[in-house]
C-alpha cells in the first residue's frame, strides 16, 4: 500500500486514462478536448447536473482557467490524441449536436460525474481501512460533514507542485472526495506547477479534465523556476514566490468579486480526505489561524516525524525526530502540554507548523495582507566570492517562508490587542527592563551543521537533532511580555497524517494509533477545543539558510529572542 514510486507514474497515468475513457470521455490538452469541453459547457449540461451554488463555473467562465500550459511534446501524445478523436467522433458527436438528444447528454454526464466522484486514486482508496482514534474513520459514509458543507462556506485548495507527479493522481482523488462532501461548487482548486520536469504537466491536463467535468472551479498554472542554476537559488525566496502565486486567485476573487473563502487547504504529500475534513472541523471549532497535520517519512525502515525545519512547539523548541512508535516520553513535541495532548491524539498549540497538509484561515492572514516572505539579507554566493558576511546576533532569522508566516500570524493577532483577562493597556504592564535594550537577551549559538538527511518527505529540509537548548536563552526581560498579547491560534492535529513515498500507511496508522480498539468514544467538540491559549514564546530555535544553494544549501542554527512588542514597534516605523 505504499505510495507507488515515480517510475510507475506513466503506468498509473495510462491506467487512469483508460478508466476515464471507459467511463465517459478521454481528455488531454489537445484541440479536440478543448472543443469538447466547451461544447458541453455551451449546453449547460453540467449545470443541470450539479446545480448552482456559490462559484458558478457556467456563469463565470474565468473560474476555470489554465495558464502557462506546457505544450512540449509528450511520449503519450499520439496515443491520447488518437483515442480522444476516435471516441469523440464516434460516440459523442452523434449525440451531442442534436437538441432532441440532450437528455442523453445529461444522462451520460450524470453517470460520468457519478463515476468521477467515486474516483479513489491509488492510496486514497485505502483510507477508510486505516486506523484512527475516536472512531474517526468508522463512520466514513455516515458522516456527511453537513456542518462543513453549509452554503455560506467555501474552501480554497492550494497546491504548489514541483516535480511531484507521484502524488498528483492521489491528490486529485482527495480533492474529488472533498468535492463530494463539500459540494463541487463550494471549492476552488489552485494548482501551481513550478517548472516541474517530470510528468506533472500531463497529469495537470488530467486534473483539468476531471475538474472541468465536475464543475469545480480551478486555476492550473505553470511557471518556470526563478533560477535555473540551483547554486544561485535561494530556497525560502522560491517557497514564498510559489505560495504567493498559488494564492493569486484567492486574492483576486476577494478583491474583485468580494468572494471570501472560509478556509485555505494547502495539500502536501498524501493526506486522507477524512483527516482533512476533520482538521477543518478542528480549525473552525478553535477559530484557528492555522491547523497543521503531522508528516511522517520513511527512514531506514522506520517512520519519523518529518518537518523539523518549520515546526516549533509552543516554547519555540524544535520537534524531535521521533519515530511513529515512540513512547510517550519521546514524542515529537517537547513541551509538556503539547506532548500530553499528542499522546491522547488531541490537537495541541504550537508556535509554528507546516508538517504536510495544513489549513489556514484567510480572514486571519491573507485577507489582512499577510503574504509569504523571507529574509532579504541572504548571501548570494554565486554572485560574490566574498565569505559569508557577519550578521549581528539578533539579526532576523533567515529561515523558511513558513516560519516568517507564523511570526507574522502572531504579530498580526497581537495588533488586535492585549488578552482580555490581562488588563486593557499594555503600558500598565511595562516592567523596567533589567538590561539596556531588549536586544541584549538575544544570544547566538552558532553551530555549523550540514544537512545529511536523505531526501525523505519534508525532512529533506530539516537538520539533524542537536543539543541546542532553549534553556540557554537568558530569562525573559521583555519590556512587555508576549503573554500580554492576544495569542495566535496555531495548532497541530496529530490525527491528520501526511505521508510520502515509501510509507506503509497501515503500519504507520498502527504505530500512531494502536489497534483501534479504543472505547469507541468520540473526540467530542470539548476535547478538540483548547481552553487555554498561551502567548508566543520569547525565543525560538532559528534554523536558517544564510546563503544561496537551493533547497540543499547548508543550514545553521542559533537561539533567537522573539518579542511581539519589539516586532510591533519596528513595524510601526
Ligand atoms: C545570485 O546571483 C546570480 C548571478 O548574479 C543571479 O543570477 C541569481 O538570480 C542570484 N540569486 C538570487 C536568489 O538573487
Ligand atoms: C467530552 O469529553 C469531555 C472530556 O473527556 C467529557 O468530560 C465530556 O463529558 C464529553 N462530552 C460529551 C458530550 O461526550
Q: What is the DSSP string of 466-479?
A: ----GGGSPPP--S
Three-class SS state of 291: strand
Q: Specify the ligand 1 atom closest to the Cα of 380.
A: 1
Q: Bridge partners of 266?
A: 158, 358
Task: Tell whether the model's pLDDT for residue 422 goes beyond 80.
Answer: no
H or E segment to which residue 281 belongs: helix 273-285
Question: By alpha-carbon position, which residue is closest to atom 8 of ligand 1?
Answer: 232
Higher pLDDT, 38 or 237: 237
Higher pLDDT, 49 or 304: 304
Alpha-helical (H) ranges within 129-199 are 165-182
Question: By alpha-carbon position, which residue is closest to atom 4 of ligand 1?
Answer: 383
Q: Is 527 in the pocket of ligand 2 (CB under 6 A)?
A: yes
Ligand 1: distance of its center to the CA of 233 in Å?
7
Question: By alpha-carbon position, which residue is closest to atom 13 of ligand 2?
Answer: 524
Tell me what pLDDT residue 524 has: 63
| Shortest-distance ligand to the CA of residue 346 | 2
Q: What is the DSSP annotation of 425-467?
A: -GGGG----SSSSGGGG------EE-----S-GGGGG------
Ligand 1: distance of its center to the CA of 546 in Å?
14
Do residues 305 and 294 touch, judged by C-beta distance below 8 A? yes
C-alpha to C-alpha distance for 533 and 367, rounded to whole angstroms: 23
Higher pLDDT, 394 or 449: 394
Task: Tell whether the model's pLDDT for residue 571 goes beyond 90.
Answer: no
Q: Is 381 in the pocket of ligand 1 (CB under 6 A)?
A: no
CA 58, distance to chain mean position in Å, is: 28
Tell me what pLDDT residue 138 has: 55
DSSP 63: G
Task: Tell whether the model's pLDDT for residue 340 goes beyond 50.
Answer: yes
Question: By alpha-carbon position, which residue is closest to atom 10 of ligand 1?
Answer: 232
C-alpha to C-alpha distance for 266 and 356, rounded to whole angstroms: 8
Work out the pLDDT band at 458, boundaries 50, 70, 90. low
Percent of the chain with pLDDT over 70: 75
Tell me what pLDDT residue 49 has: 44
pLDDT digits (tens, 9 = 90+) for 543-558: 999 999 998 898 999 9
Do residues 183 and 165 touch, judged by C-beta distance below 8 A? no
pLDDT digits (tens, 9 = 90+) for 53-106: 468 887 788 899 999 988 877 777 787 778 777 777 776 676 666 666 667 667
Ligand 2: distance of its center to the CA of 523 in Å?
8
Which of 234, 375, 376, 383 most suits a substitution to test ligand 1, by most atoms within 8 Å of the C-beta?
383
C-alpha to C-alpha distance for 192 and 66, rounded to whole angstroms: 10
Q: Specify the ligand 2 atom closest to the Cα of 521.
A: 14
Nearest to 530 by CA among 283, 286, 278, 279: 286
Q: Specify the ligand 2 atom closest to the Cα of 522.
A: 14
Spell out a b/e string for 49-62, using b for 16 or more CB atoms within 10 Å of the CB, else e.
Answer: bbeeebbebbeeee
Q: Is 258 in the pocket of ligand 2 (CB under 6 A)?
A: no
Tell me what pLDDT residue 342 has: 96
| Shortest-distance ligand to the CA of residue 529 | 2
Name the grid cell of 248.
493569486
C-alpha to C-alpha distance for 335 and 351, rounded to whole angstroms: 11
| Shortest-distance ligand to the CA of residue 527 | 2
CA 396 to each of CA 256, 388, 406: distance values in angstroms, whole numbers, following the listed order: 35, 16, 14
Q: Specify the ligand 1 atom closest to the Cα of 234.
A: 13
- What is the mean predicted confidence (pLDDT) over 416-427? 52
Q: What is the DSSP annotation of 120-146?
A: --SSGGGGGGS--GGGTTTTTTT---T
Three-class SS state of 381: coil
- The residue behind cell 490524441 is 81
Tell me what pLDDT residue 225 has: 94
Task: Tell whether the model's pLDDT for residue 43 goes beyond 60.
Answer: no
Three-class SS state of 485: strand
Question: By alpha-carbon position, which residue is closest to atom 11 of ligand 2?
Answer: 524
pLDDT digits (tens, 9 = 90+) for 108-126: 767 777 777 777 777 888 8
Higher pLDDT, 107 or 423: 107
Tell me what pLDDT residue 454 has: 32
Which of 524, 529, 530, 531 most suits a substitution to test ligand 2, by most atoms within 8 Å of the C-beta?
524
C-alpha to C-alpha distance for 47 and 106, rounded to whole angstroms: 10
Task: Tell whether the model's pLDDT for residue 135 goes beyond 80.
Answer: no
| Shortest-distance ligand to the CA of residue 549 | 1
pLDDT digits (tens, 9 = 90+) for 154-206: 999 999 999 888 889 899 999 999 999 999 889 999 999 999 998 899 889 98
Amino acid at each position: 500500500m505504499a505510495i507507488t514510486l515515480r517510475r510507475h507514474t506513466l503506468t498509473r497515468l495510462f491506467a487512469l486514462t483508460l478508466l476515464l475513457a471507459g467511463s465517459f470521455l478521454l481528455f488531454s490538452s489537445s484541440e479536440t478536448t478543448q472543443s469538447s469541453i466547451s461544447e458541453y459547457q455551451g449546453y449547460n449540461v453540467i449545470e443541470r447536473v450539479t446545480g448552482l451554488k456559490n462559484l458558478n463555473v457556467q456563469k463565470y467562465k474565468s473560474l476555470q482557467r489554465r495558464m502557462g500550459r506546457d505544450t512540449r511534446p509528450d511520449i503519450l501524445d499520439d496515443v491520447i490524441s488518437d483515442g480522444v478523436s476516435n471516441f469523440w467522433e464516434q460516440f459523442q458527436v452523434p449525440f451531442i449536436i442534436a437538441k432532441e438528444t440532450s437528455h442523453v447528454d445529461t444522462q451520460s454526464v450524470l453517470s460520468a460525474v457519478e463515476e468521477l466522484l467515486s474516483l479513489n486514486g491509488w492510496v486514497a482508496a485505502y483510507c477508510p481501512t486505516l486506523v484512527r482514534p475516536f472512531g474517526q474513520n468508522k463512520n466514513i459514509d455516515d458522516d456527511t460533514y453537513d456542518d462543513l458543507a453549509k452554503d455560506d462556506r467555501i474552501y480554497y485548495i492550494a497546491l504548489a507542485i514541483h516535480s511531484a507527479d507521484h502524488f498528483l493522481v492521489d491528490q486529485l482523488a482527495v480533492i474529488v472526495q472533498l468535492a463530494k462532501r463539500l459540494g463541487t461548487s463550494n471549492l476552488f482548486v489552485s494548482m501551481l506547477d513550478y517548472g516541474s520536469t517530470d510528468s506533472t504537466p500531463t497529469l495537470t491536463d488530467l486534473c483539468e479534465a476531471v475538474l472541468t467535468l465536475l464543475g469545480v472551479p480551478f486555476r492550473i498554472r505553470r511557471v518556470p523556476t526563478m533560477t535555473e542554476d540551483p547554486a544561485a537559488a535561494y530556497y525560502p525566496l522560491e517557497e514564498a514566490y510559489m505560495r504567493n502565486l498559488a494564492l493569486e486567485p484567492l486574492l483576486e476573487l476577494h478583491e474583485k468579486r468580494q468572494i471570501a473563502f472560509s478556509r485555505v487547504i494547502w495539500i502536501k504529500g498524501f493526506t486522507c480526505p477524512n483527516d482533512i475534513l476533520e482538521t477543518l472541523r478542528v480549525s473552525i471549532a478553535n477559530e484557528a489561524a492555522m491547523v497543521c497535520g503531522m508528516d511522517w517519512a520513511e527512514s531506514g525502515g522506520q517512520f519519523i516525524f518529518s518537518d523539523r525545519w518549520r515546526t516549533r512547539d509552543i516554547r519555540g523548541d524544535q520537534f524531535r525526530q521521533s519515530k511513529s512508535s515512540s513512547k510517550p516520553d519521546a514524542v515529537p513535541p517537547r513541551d509538556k502540554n503539547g506532548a500530553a495532548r499528542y499522546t491522547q491524539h488531541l490537537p495541541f498549540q504550537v508556535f509554528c507548523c507546516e508538517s504536510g497538509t495544513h489549513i489556514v484561515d484567510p480572514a486571519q492572514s491573507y485577507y489582512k495582507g499577510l503574504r509569504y516572505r523571507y529574509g532579504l539579507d541572504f548571501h548570494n554566493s554565486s554572485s560574490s566570492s566574498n565569505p559569508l558576511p557577519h550578521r549581528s546576533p539578533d539579526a532576523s532569522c533567515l529561515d523558511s517562508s513558513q516560519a516568517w508566516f507564523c511570526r507574522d500570524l502572531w504579530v498580526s493577532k497581537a495588533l488586535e490587542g492585549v488578552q482580555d483577562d490581562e488588563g486593557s493597556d499594555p503600558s500598565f504592564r511595562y516592567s523596567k527592563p533589567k538590561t539596556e535594550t531588549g536586544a541584549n537577551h538575544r544570544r547566538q549559538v552558532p553551530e555549523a551543521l550540514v544537512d545529511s538527511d536523505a531526501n525523505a518527505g519534508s525532512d529533506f529540509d530539516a537538520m539533524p537533532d542537536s543539543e541546542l537548548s532553549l534553556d540557554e536563552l537568558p530569562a525573559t526581560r521583555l519590556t512587555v511580555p508576549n503573554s500580554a498579547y492576544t495569542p495566535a491560534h496555531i495548532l497541530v492535529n496529530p490525527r491528520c497524517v501526511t505521508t510520502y513515498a515509501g510509507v506503509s500507511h497501515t503500519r504507520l496508522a498502527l504505530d500512531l494509533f494502536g489497534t483501534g480498539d479504543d472505547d469507541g468514544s468520540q473526540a467530542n467538540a470539548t476535547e478538540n477545543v483548547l481552553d487555554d491559549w498561551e502567548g508566543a514564546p520569547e525565543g525560538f530555535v532559528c534554523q536558517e539558510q544564510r546563503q544561496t544553494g537551493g533547497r540543499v544549501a547548508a543550514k545553521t542554527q542559533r537561539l533567537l529572542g522573539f518579542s511581539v512588542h519589539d516586532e510591533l514597534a519596528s513595524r510601526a516605523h
